[in-house]
Chain A
């Protein structure tokens, strides 16, 4: 059974960098069948796609966050990570990591909807 678990600090100061890691068990992030992504949920903005990474290392970032986001992977640890720089209170949210299937039928995107999610971790931005 695939499991994803987010980890990282629950409190980050404004202007600093938020760093989270997702540890995957029961499956490999090196599979060509899946993308691995980050999504956040805040009361004000609902569910917001942050970005994802493919086994090849290619990444996609939401244009609204692109200048501040980096997603990377460590295949030796079966983990992928999120860094969000220059955070403000508006970045306070529950952050989820998730798996998405690579679609057989691509439109302008080949990334399917998330089918496995981590439990989520609340990150608060405050001094």
Chain B
């Protein structure tokens, strides 16, 4: 099974500043035949289900603000919030869908400093 890890566990960022979350997979989730990374990012606010932000590592889901960006390839990925807003306080998860079982990272909690 592919194991997902994230760092840091939590971070506090001032409003308007950049937040960076890292995700690492125990094996590559880049499929050579499609040249796609089978990696998604989610945002979860308290009392709500996770919300899909990105798929294929960097393809933004409809309606996601462009201050959010996803990058990376192979085993190392990054979610960046370029200018943190109050409504971005949440836990963020990465997930691989390269093979079964799909696996989520443990999450990174983002707060306001």
Contacts and interface: CB of A to CB of B under 8 A. Distances in A.
Contacts of A63: 1, 101
Interface range on chain A (Cβ under 8 Å from partner): 20 to 34
Nearest to B1: A63
A46 B98 contact: no
A4 B57 CA distance: 25
Given A117-B49, A119-B49, A107 B101 contact: no
Interface string B73-113: 00000000000000000000101011111111111000000
B21 interface: no
B49 A109 contact: no
A41 to B, nearest CB: 8
Given A47-B104, A119-B49, A113 B98 contact: no
In the complex, which range does the number of interface residues on chain B fall in?
A: 20 to 34
Interface string B34-67: 1010101010000011111001000001000000
B52 A115 contact: yes
Given A114-B52, A120-B49, A107 B38 contact: yes
A49 interface: yes
Contacts of B105: 46
Interface of A: 46-49, 60, 62-64, 96, 98, 103, 105-109, 111-115, 117-120
Please name the 7 residue pairs, one residue from A and one from B, whose CB atoms are nearest each other, closest first.
A117-B49, A113-B40, A105-B34, A47-B104, A107-B31, A108-B99, A62-B101
